[in-house]
């Protein structure tokens, strides 16, 4: 039965062209078993329209498998690892006891032989030693099997642990690095830059009028917007460049070995790519309009800290919003740009979003 559920899960993964990562396999395996009626109802409503997308699968994982609770997963894996190590230690202890017993039997037989025994006693001794040897061989075989199984199980646990570690570094919605991963990579790039005297630039992105769009069309469509921006960032950033979701509708990107001019060029490419994409309501293919980005760009200076570089890029971002949004501004353009607290209230956010044809009271 278990094999049949597993085969069904793999078939659904293949049909939907979703990579067989453990979390997606768990989703479809749960569906195949029918253990979660709400999950099955959700997937059954989607499948007639075609295979699930990886974005839909990720959203279902978040809702039904609680993949965002990384701490619980790590705790469970730690417990499993501890239990497996305990089992191995117990098997080794039993084997050592058997080895000690066998050693004692050999020593006793050695003493008997040195003292001299008759032919019948020798036959009994030989029979006893043969029995002890066979018992020892059986014990060794069981120990080898136990160690081999444990090695396999620990290997699987290690693989799953690596997956969870990677998962803990990703934003669960957009599947790009989260703030924790960004901070780690930023520190690494700064060390590399200081040793090589290379340049490094930073981009900060904010989706224009996102709150108003979210309030008008709903959070599911808002999530679609966030994923779209993340996909554009990944498509336009290459090499060691790394995008991350910084929080809410704000994204950030590290551009190692990139001058300010290069960073501005990349930012413009991203801004144009986002603006060129038109949002559709998936259930009806209804056009919802376009979104735009405001972007701030700054380059590392001698004496900078991570916080000071982010602050300068942030000032440029809010200067771009002040100047009308949907544009890139760098520290070269706004050396004394306002901080977020200086931005007028009409920029945080407006009552109605200009980029979209808003139709009030619509359900998306």
Residues 245 and 170: their CA atoms lie apart, in Å, by 9
Write down the pTM of the prediction.
0.56
Joined together, the tokens standing for residue 18 give 């979703």
- Exposed, middle or buried by CB within 10 Å (0-12, 13-18, 19+), for 9? buried
Three-class SS state of 338: coil
Residue 72 reports pLDDT greater than 90: no
Q: How confident is the model at residue 304 (pLDDT cuts 50, 70, 90)?
A: confident
* Topology given in CATH for the domain delimited by 179-347: Alpha-Beta Plaits (3.30.70)
Q: Using 50, 70 and 90 to split pLDDT, how confident is the model at 141?
A: confident
Q: Is the pLDDT at 356 greater than 60, yes or no?
A: no
User: CA 265 → CA 198, 203, 305, 322, distances in Å?
Assistant: 18, 11, 24, 21
The runs of H, that is alpha helices, within the chain are 2-16, 22-33, 37-46, 54-60, 70-115, 119-168, 179-196, 210-217, 219-236, 260-276, 306-322
Give the residue-averaged pLDDT of 37-41. 86
Report the pLDDT value the prediction gives residue 127, as an integer from 0 to 100.
Answer: 76
Q: β-strands 242-247, 328-330: how paired?
A: unpaired
According to DSSP, residue 276 is labeled: H
The tens digit of pLDDT for each residue in 78-97 reads 666 666 677 777 777 777 77
Q: What is the mean pLDDT of residues 49-66?
A: 77
Q: What is the pLDDT of residues 174-205, one digit of tens each?
A: 989 988 889 888 888 888 887 777 889 999 99
Least confident window among 120-124, 185-189, 201-205, 343-347:
343-347
What strands, in cross-sheet order, belong to the sheet with 293-299? 242-247, 250-256, 200-207, 293-299, 328-330
pLDDT at 362 over 50: no
Q: Which two tokens stand for residue 294?
A: 């405001």
Domain boundaries, the chain: 2-65, 70-168, 179-347
Q: How far is CA 250 from CA 8, 49, 209, 260, 305, in A?
A: 39, 32, 12, 20, 20
- Which two structure tokens, joined as six digits, stand for 340? 């977020």
Residue 113 DSSP symbol: H
Q: What is the pLDDT of residue 98?
A: 72
Percent of the chain with pLDDT over 90: 24
């Amino acid at each position: 039965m278990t094999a049949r559920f597993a085969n069904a899960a793999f078939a659904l993964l293949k049909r939907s062209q979703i990579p067989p990562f453990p979390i997606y396999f768990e989703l479809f395996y749960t569906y195949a078993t029918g253990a979660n009626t709400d999950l099955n109802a959700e997937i059954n409503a989607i499948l007639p329209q075609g295979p699930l997308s990886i974005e839909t699968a990720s959203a279902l994982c978040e809702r039904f498998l609680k993949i965002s609770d990384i701490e619980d997963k790590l705790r469970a894996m730690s417990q499993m690892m501890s239990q497996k190590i305990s089992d191995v230690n117990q098997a080794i202890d039993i084997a050592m006891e058997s080895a000690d017993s066998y050693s004692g039997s050999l020593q006793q037989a050695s003493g008997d032989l040195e003292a001299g025994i008759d032919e019948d006693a020798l036959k009994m001794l030989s029979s006893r030693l043969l029995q002890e040897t066979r018992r020892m061989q059986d014990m060794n075989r069981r120990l080898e099997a136990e160690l081999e199984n444990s090695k396999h199980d620990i290997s699987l646990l290690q693989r799953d642990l690596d997956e969870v570690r990677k998962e803990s570094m990703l934003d669960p919605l957009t599947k790009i690095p989260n703030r924790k991963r960004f901070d780690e990579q930023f520190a690494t790039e700064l060390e590399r830059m200081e040793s090589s005297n290379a340049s490094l630039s930073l981009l900060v992105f904010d989706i224009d009028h996102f709150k108003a769009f979210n309030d008008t069309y709903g959070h599911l469509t808002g999530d679609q917007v966030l994923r779209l921006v993340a996909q554009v960032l990944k498509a336009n950033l290459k090499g060691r460049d790394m995008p991350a979701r910084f929080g809410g509708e704000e994204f950030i990107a590290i551009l190692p070995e990139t001058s300010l001019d290069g960073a501005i060029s990349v930012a413009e490419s991203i801004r144009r790519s986002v603006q060129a994409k038109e949002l559709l309501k998936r259930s009806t293919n209804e056009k919802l309009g376009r979104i735009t980005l405001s972007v701030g760009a700054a380059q590392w200076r001698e004496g900078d800290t991570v916080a000071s570089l982010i602050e300068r890029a942030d000032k440029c971002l809010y200067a771009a919003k002040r100047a009308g949004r949907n544009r890139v501004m760098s520290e070269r353009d706004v050396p004394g740009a306002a901080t977020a607290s200086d931005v007028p209230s009409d920029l945080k956010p407006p009552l109605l979003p200009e980029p979209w044809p808003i139709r009030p009271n619509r359900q998306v």
